Chain A
Amino acid sequence: MTSIPSGKFLKKWLLTSGMHLIILAYLVYLLFPLLWMISTSFKTTPEIYSGIPSFIPRIFTGEHYLTVLQEDRLLKSILNSLYVGCITSVIVVLISLPAAYALTRYKTSINKAVMGWILTSQIFPAILIMIPLYLILRSLHLTDSLAGLVLVYVVWDIPFVLWMLQGYIKEIPVELEEAAAIDGANQGQIIYKIIMPLLLPAIGASVMFAFITSWNEFFFALVLLKSPDLSTLPVELARFTGIEGAARTGPLAAASFMATIPSIILFAVLRKWFTKGTLQGAVKG
């Protein structure tokens, strides 16, 4: 008869419980602001300003959602953000995937220089490049247009996605490609029939990254888009805040919650890919 020594069992139990507690604390830390925002969005305005913190609203109200939904521009801005986010994600992946493949599989000095430049380009803050970028886009008639904004986001997102995809591609054994080549597959077939299916988790993570980055981005959208009809959600949300930090808190919370819904849905859809892909990328980069 074998039995687990009680000391060892206790140690294991304590370790597991400790881990769970840490994860729970981290979860609360991450979720609390979101839950507080949702709670605020359902509180009446006097309750928000009552100075007495309460998690569950004393009186549930949908007035802030009605206020937000009555503002046509906010709905329009959600559509604009969705448009920009979706197009950006697709283009980023379409460009980054073959580029990452080429940069990983073909070792030349140019590739090294390209990767170096991509890494270097990440150190420039947006404010530094804003004015020259604006002038270039204007000369291309791409300011005050969603197409121009998509172009900026694509350029902004590609370096990170490229690095991420490169890490994943490195993990795929070259032998798989060699086997496909022996069976008569050409380069395109190798990429789209052999590599792509293996990279689905990475593609999911890339889509997620590109979408959320462009969904949340504020500064480029603020400066590049002049027409009120074109503004994106983060720019529209900023208009709920006023002088000296004052804000229309209820409508702001309601609009912010509405703004997070697409990200939550996207994450729910791509969760499996994202988790698996991120972990794979983290092991070997």
Chain B
Amino acid sequence: MNRWLAYIRLYPGLLLAAILGILVIGIYVVGERAIRLEAKAPKTGPIKFLSLAWQQEAVTAVQEMTDEWNQMHPDKPVEFMQGSWNAVHDYLITGFETGDIPDIFHYESATIVDFALRNYLADLSPYIPEDMANDILDVNWASVRRSNGEIVGIPFLAATSIVLYNQTLFEEAGVEAPSLENPWSWEDFLSACEQLTIDRNGDKNPDQWGAAMGLRNSANLIMSNSTAFGGSFFYHDEAGNLETRVSQPERELLSKISDMLYVQKTMSPSSIGKSVTEMIPGFLAGNYAMVVGIGAWARQQVHENAGPNFRWSTMPMMKAKTQALGINTQTLSIPKTSQRQAEAMEFIQFFLNAENMTRLAQSDWMMPTRRSSLNAPIFQDSTLGWDVVIKSADYLSEGPWIGLPGYIEWKSRVANPVFQEYFAGRITLDETAERIERESNSVLARYQVRGLKW
């Protein structure tokens, strides 16, 4: 006994550390036991629904629909939680790892691939009613269907690229916008850009540019629009493994944009460092006649912010070999750990019925995924460019990122920075291709070592 007391006198810190250690372990063990018991107990309280709607109209629409559901189903209430696109990934990752995650969450098909590969997402196929299965376009289903037939999200809005143009500048330059049936080829587009690039004060620097693109984070834009040239970037080898190749079809769009910036000088150099959203003020100020490859949702920004005399419209993306556009859908998914998958899916069925999907698409200014919503009279109107957006449903094709493990890492660590360097003129096209292939394959290899297959 005395010997122990002597030790304690000699090393009081050790005693303190031991007491603290026992205390922490004790609290942890007791707490974990309580959590396990709690997890086994049936869940009560509202179904938690994380939505990423952010435009005021869209937030109101989601809130109204949730309220309608809660009035009709007081026994299965849903709590609407508004998330943020900027932070949702970290939020979900920690949620999945800790098991504390909303019962329904809104995200996008390209990104939920990783969650599905880690087995975080419930298979929704048993819950999907026939009318929903048949009404949502197959290409949209393809964005969320795994090779084993599992459906890991319900696609409800599709992102699609369009061209915004300034009608006044077109008329002044004598350029006629293409029709939906006869879209411009790239040659038509380049020639129009030359007509629309004007040096008004004779200082040999254009004051008005033919076109602008948001090239700061251009991976999605390049990937989606390279499909029209037959580019895919990702290919399966004979063993079924993914590999990256940047050959001629992938290089076409890259070189066309670069030429517009540095050879023809018809694209505003401010495109290089700006996001698509940041191009809108310059468009409204008449600095460029077209914003190319912008998402359909951006029409809302233009509509809301344009002055009374600003006349604008939309046109479809240019036709290359085809008019294909790689698809990326916004989705609703249910975590595998949710105890109330069936109830959550009931809410999703209500939330995404044809009428509500039309409301959602209209409030978010995006393309709905249901045929019946696409045919809604409200979307046949050309005044706000809905006709162009809805027509592009005909050209949607499976995006190259579908089922790509590590897409979000590839996009942020490889594609966006390398494309930025290329468009800034710091590296050549060959160097771009070499770096994309080398760096992408290194990312892909890491994910494939883990045996993750879509």
| Interface residues, chain A, with chain B CB atoms under 8 Å away | 45-46, 48-52, 67, 109-110, 113, 127, 130-131, 134-136, 138-141, 143, 218-219, 222-223, 226, 228, 235, 238-248
Contact = CB atoms under 8 A, between A and B. Distances in A.
B238 interface: no
B277 interface: yes
Contact of A238 (B84, B214, B275, B276): B84
Contact of B305 (A46, A113, A141, A238): A46
Interface string B275-308: 1111011111101000000010110010011110
Nearest to A139: B31
A241 B85 contact: yes
A131 B96 CA distance: 10
A67 B57 CA distance: 13
B55 interface: yes
B82 interface: yes
Contacts of A240: 54
A67 B56 CA distance: 10
Given A52-B285, A140-B27, A244-B277, A223 B91 contact: yes
Contacts of B79: 228
A247 B300 CA distance: 12
Nearest to B24: A136
5 contacts: A127-B90, A131-B94, A139-B32, A222-B87, A245-B275
A139 B29 CA distance: 8
Given A49-B284, A139-B35, A239 B54 contact: yes
A148 to B, nearest CB: 12
A284 B305 CA distance: 55
A138 B87 contact: no
Contacts of B102: 226
A138 B34 CA distance: 10
Nearest to B28: A139
Nearest to B16: A110
Interface in B1-45: 12-13, 27-28, 30-32, 34-35
Contact of B307 (A46, A218, A246): A46
Nearest to B214: A244
B179 interface: no
B340 interface: no
Contact of B304 (A45, A52, A242): A45
Contacts of B95: 223
Nearest to A135: B98
A138 B100 contact: yes
A79 B282 CA distance: 38
A50 B98 contact: no
A32 B221 CA distance: 34
* A-B interface, 3 closest residue pairs, ranked by CB to CB distance from nearest: A139-B31, A51-B285, A51-B281
Interface in B299-320: 301, 304-307
Contact of A243 (B13, B56, B85, B98): B85
B161 to A, nearest CB: 11
B301 A238 contact: no
Given A109-B13, A139-B31, A141-B31, 13 more contacts: A45-B305, A49-B301, A49-B305, A51-B282, A134-B100, A138-B31, A228-B81, A238-B86, A240-B54, A243-B52, A243-B295, A244-B214, A246-B277
Contact of A248 (B28, B56, B98, B217): B56
B31 A51 contact: no
B365 to A, nearest CB: 11
Nearest to B307: A46
A228 B82 contact: yes
Task: Give chain B's interface residue range (CB within 8 Å of chain A).
Answer: 35 or more
Contacts of A110: 12-13
B97 interface: yes
Contacts of B97: 131
A233 B392 CA distance: 40
B295 A244 contact: yes
| A110, A135, A243, most chain B CB atoms within 10 A | A243
Nearest to A241: B86
B178 to A, nearest CB: 25
A244 B90 contact: no
A46 B305 CA distance: 4
Given A49-B284, A131-B94, A239-B54, A244 B307 contact: no
A139 B27 contact: yes
Contacts of A51: 281-285, 287
Contacts of A143: 100
Nearest to B298: A246
A135 B307 CA distance: 52
A143 B99 CA distance: 12
Contact of A134 (B84, B98, B287): B98
B48 interface: yes
Contacts of B35: 138-139
A138 B54 contact: no
Given A51-B284, A130-B94, A218 B87 contact: yes
Nearest to B330: A243
A172 B35 CA distance: 49
Contacts of B98: 131, 134-135, 138
A88 B221 CA distance: 45
A46 B306 CA distance: 6
B227 to A, nearest CB: 19
A81 B305 CA distance: 32
B13 A245 contact: no
A113 B16 CA distance: 13
A246 B301 contact: yes
B338 to A, nearest CB: 14
Contacts of A235: 84, 87
A243 B94 contact: no
A242 B54 contact: yes
B305 A241 contact: no
Interface string B317-356: 0000000000000000000000000000000000000000
Contacts of B54: 239-243, 246, 248
Contacts of A67: 56
A239 B82 contact: yes
A249 to B, nearest CB: 9
A235 B83 CA distance: 9
Given A49-B284, A135-B98, A246-B277, A222 B305 contact: no
Contacts of A223: 90-91, 94-95
